[in-house]
Amino acid sequence: MSNKYVYLFNEGSKEMKELLGGKGANLAEMTLVGLPVPPGFTISTKACNDYYLHGKSLTSEMEQQIDEALKTLENTTGKRLGGEEYPLLVSVRSGSVISMPGMMDTVLTLGLNDTTVDVIAHLTDNPRFAYDSYRRFIQMFSDVVLGLEHYLFEQVIDERKKDNQVYEDTELTAEDWKAVVEEYKKIVLSKTKKPFPQEPKKQLEMAIRAVFDSWNNQRAIVYRKINKIPDHLGTAVNIQMMVFGNMGDDSGTGVAFTRNPSTGEAALYGEYLMNAQGEDVVAGIRTPKSIDTLKNVNTEVFQQFLAITKQLEQHYKDMQDIEFTIEKGKLYFLQTRTGKRTAQSAVKIAVDLHREEVIDRDTALLRVDPDQLNQLLHRQIDTTVDFHVLAKGLPASPGAASGYIVFDANDAEKKHLDGDKVILVRPETTPEDIHGIVAAEGILTSRGGMTSHAAVVARGMGKACITGCEALKIDLKKKEIYLENGSLLKEGDTISIDGSTGNVMLGEVKLIDPELSEEFQVLLEWADEVREIGVRANADTPEDAAKSREFGATGIGLCRTEHMFMAADRVPTVQEMILAENNEERETALAKLLPMQQGDFKGILKAMAGYPVTIRLLDPPLHEFLPNVEDLIVELTKMKVEDASIQEIREKEKLLRKIRNLSEFNPMLGHRGCRLGITFPEIYAMQAEAIFNATIELAEEGIEVEPEIMIPLVGHVNELKLMKDLVIQIAENVKERTNRDFNYTVGTMIEVPRAALTADEIAEHAEFFSFGTNDLTQTTFGFSRDDAEGKFLQYYLDHKILSDNPFVTIDQDGVGKLIKMGTELGRKTKPELKVGICGEHGGEKHSIEFVYKAGLNYVSCSPFRVPIAILAAAQATVNNKGQSL
């Protein structure tokens, strides 16, 4: 046998995940550990790939191995597929290497047909259960395998309930289900022109194909794209003996987490329903009960369950997400996997597990995805301010959000693309709604529990989510929500939701800064001890400086002085400076700006005292500070048509002419950065003087600071040399005037390719380099970010021309190559050269790992990303030690 495609559960282990998929490997592992797992076998991911290789067909080798495994299963269970004595019923489930919850297809109770249904009815002495199972099976098989729409079948049940004047499925009898089955079979015959397949082996083969096919259904492809899961992994198929949670009141089914996935609390957490199938819990159709109450239903089972979950957590060394079924009082484990969790929970679980000595510190650091921390750092609803709570649901995913109500995933996406913030409101969500969840600020559902689709997906994405908010009566057709209190919400109304409390509020609600948990602080302390590169903040105000310091930044990597120029009260003076007719006029305006800048710098240097502060001299083109040309044209045209005075028109024309003179074809590549400093040295001179004056004022207050002055947009060593000489000259002047000494350094941004290519020359005159990766990405790709993101970048990402947005994650092959080259060349000239990055990439985990490996000294990012960067920096160290667990 050249290929082994099929593995019995007792042939595998958790190490075989790549081949058996997550679910298959876990079932094998659980079997190995000795858990009560219903027996079965796994068709490998290799079979899936070979299935596609052979033009979507099962090879005879596969078919033969499936037959053999089935025979073994039949022997083990003493049941036969389609057997008239003891019929074997199986589940057929997908199971990919990386979990994709709800994305692919599953068929349950396979093996039922017109004959076996009666055998089961007889064996269980429960015809109602048998026919209910059979109708469920036909419905699911029709949906998943035959591609018939769900509603066709739901209509049949609705009509029958109407006829019987009952409201719940549970009120329907065995005879009802038997009749439903007949109707279902008619639907299948009418829609597919073939009778519902009665041969169980045929059913099995069709189901296996359907699972393989589901690897490439639309929602799975979207999910993989969002979660960056490679397309070539494929899915395994798990065939497992069915056990039934719906065999009466001594049966049940549920899901549980070994710790709280929302808070991280070290206590069993979960939900179950008695006399129900697993899908009833997950789909959120019935609202389930808390796992704690199980002990009142069946103490023995509950104790057994508790003991096994503890064993599982010790075995897997992480919080587990478990599916279980109780069949006539016997407990079965259907699945266990590492549980998804909120950021808060991830932090607490990681810290707790290390404290419990289950994992080492490095592993604890790796357990939290830095991106997740974002949730904890973003603002939450200010509970000290009054707000009107409309309704309350389950706190399914923490964080707060406000937005317009939309009722449809497509609308959510459309509005989002228009720049609107929306809250997606649905009775419940399904995998088809993924794109709407991506687009929305938050999700609100009227049905479903904490483990419903909406809840799981939202937590994974770090979006605010409230589920099971039953007070909302949603009319999808009218696009309205009726509240219990009689009020009415319409599409377009603004609401706020708080996923941490479950509160739904009218209008936009005030948000406040989050408080960081003790575990969060501990995790950051550990990260600080481990990380080998510095984390600074990009901060332009004393407030931002203080905030980033609080978050753990040990310096400012980028203080943008233009933001200070843009303050409304300064713009007139800045315009005066720009529109100056001569040097004298310009110097007069600059003299007015000097004390303002001096105050700015003093505040920032003081807030960051003890740590380095890199101040970038003026960077943007001057026309950014001037009125808009198009507005002026409109005004001028009006004046002309309306016969304004020649004098007024002349004045306006003069202003327009000046602005036009300053306007540029490609401002990003124009007269900005050091090019301004070179052609208008008086501007940089003023800024340098303001910095040095502030330094001296602070020294007089007993605060020693050492500013790092950064020259932007240098492409040729001579540019830096000239500007450095100017700064030195100003420093000497200030020293002489004040008769005081102070320290400072001068360095440069590396943000055009030429700077990186000639970094050896540039380093001769630079005491530090800071890679401005935003501009460096723009120039290296030849992408204007403003234009690319609106015009073609999304297309590039959707069509996988680029795997990542290079403005989010450093493009290692291109931009990264320049960063490495620039660093190496710079250090060749000056081995002690301090090198950092200060683009937006400075707060992104993949970029931080790259920067660490490239040997840079620090990253600098926005204040709210500082903790993320600290954790990512620590992970970079750990990952590159190869010490993960």
Question: CA of 635: how far to CAs of 33, 519, 575, 714, in Å?
Answer: 80, 59, 19, 39
| Of residues 694 and 750, the one with the C-beta less far from its own copies | 750
CA angle (187, 192, 196) in 5-degree steps: 65
Does position 758 bind its own copies by CB under 8 A?
A: yes
Using the rule CB under 8 A, is 807 a contact of its own copies?
no
DSSP designation for 441 = S
Binding to its own copies (CB under 8 A) within 621-640 occurs at 629-630, 633-634, 637-638
Spatial separation of the C-alpha atoms in residues 804 and 295, rounded to whole Å: 49
Through-space distance between the first and last CA atoms of the chain, rounded to whole angstroms: 37
Give residues with Cβ within 8 angstroms of 349, minimum separation 6. Answer: 259, 264, 266, 318, 319, 341, 367
Specify the residue, 716 or 853, whose C-beta has the smaller distance to its own copies. Answer: 716
User: How far is residue 749's CA from residue 836's CA, in Å, rounded to a whole number?
Assistant: 9
Identify residues 676-695 at the interface with its own copies (CB under 8 A): 678-679
Query: Contact between 781 and its own copies (CB under 8 A)?
Result: yes
**Residue 328 identity (one-letter amino acid):** K
d(CA 520, CA 51): 46
Pairing of strands 834-837, 858-861: parallel
Smallest gap from residue 403 Cβ to its own copies (A)? 25
Q: Which of 666, 739, 741, 832 binds its own copies (CB under 8 A)?
A: 666
Q: Give yes or no for residue 838 binding its own copies (CB under 8 A).
A: no
Complete DSSP assignment for 750-772 = E-SHHHHHTHHHHGGG-SEEEE-
CA atoms of 339 and 319, how far apart (whole Å): 6
Contact flag: residue 79 with its own copies (CB under 8 A): no
- Interacting residue with its own copies among 364, 752, 833, 874 (CB under 8 A): 752
Structure tokens, 576? 């005066």
> Among 674, 838, 841, 861, which one carries the catalytic annotation?
838
Dihedral over Cα of 766, 770, 775, 779: its sign: positive
Measured from the CB atom, the residue of 568 and 641 that comes closer to its own copies is 641
Q: Is 655 in the site for its own copies (CB under 8 A)?
A: no
Determine which helix (DSSP H) or strand (DSSP E) holds 724, and give its type and residue range. Answer: helix 717-738
C-alpha pair distances (Å), 389 with each of 270, 483, 497: 27, 12, 9
Min. distance of Cβ 96 from its own copies in angstroms? 25
Is 712 near its own copies (CB under 8 A)?
A: no
Beta carbon nearer to its own copies, 167 or 665: 665
Nearer to its own copies, 267 or 633 (CB): 633
3-state secondary structure of 430: coil
Q: Binding segment for its own copies among 82-90, 264-272, 409-417, 786-794 (CB under 8 A)?
A: 786-794
645 makes contact with its own copies (CB under 8 A): no
Q: Is 416 in the active site?
A: no
618 forms part of the interface with its own copies (CB under 8 A): no
815 part of the interface to its own copies, by CB under 8 A: yes
One of 271, 313, 719, 844 touching its own copies (CB under 8 A) = 719
Beta strand extents in 355-468 (DSSP E only): 380-381, 389-392, 394-397, 400-406, 422-426, 442-445, 464-467
Which of 453, 623, 765, 841 is catalytic? The answer is: 453
CB 645 within 8 A of CB 704: no
Query: What span, in angstroms and rounded, lies between the C-alpha atoms of 334 and 348?
Result: 27
Q: Compare residues 24 and 806 and give the one whose CB is closer to its own copies.
A: 806
Q: Does 784 bind its own copies (CB under 8 A)?
A: yes
From 775, 840, 844, 849, residue interacting with its own copies (rule: CB under 8 A): 775
Residue (750 or 868) nearer to its own copies, CB: 750
**What residues numbered 342-401 form the site for its own copies, per CB under 8 A?**
none
Assess whether 559 carries a catalytic annotation: no
Determine the size of the site formed for its own copies (CB under 8 A).
57
* Shortest distance, position 532 Cβ to its own copies, whole Å: 27
The reply to whether 546 sits near its own copies by the rule CB under 8 A is no
Catalytic positions are 453, 838
Where on the chain is the footprint of its own copies (CB under 8 A)?
629-630, 633-634, 637-638, 641-642, 664-671, 675, 678-679, 713, 715-716, 718-719, 722, 751-754, 757-758, 761, 775, 778-784, 786-788, 791-792, 795-796, 799-802, 811, 813-815, 817-818
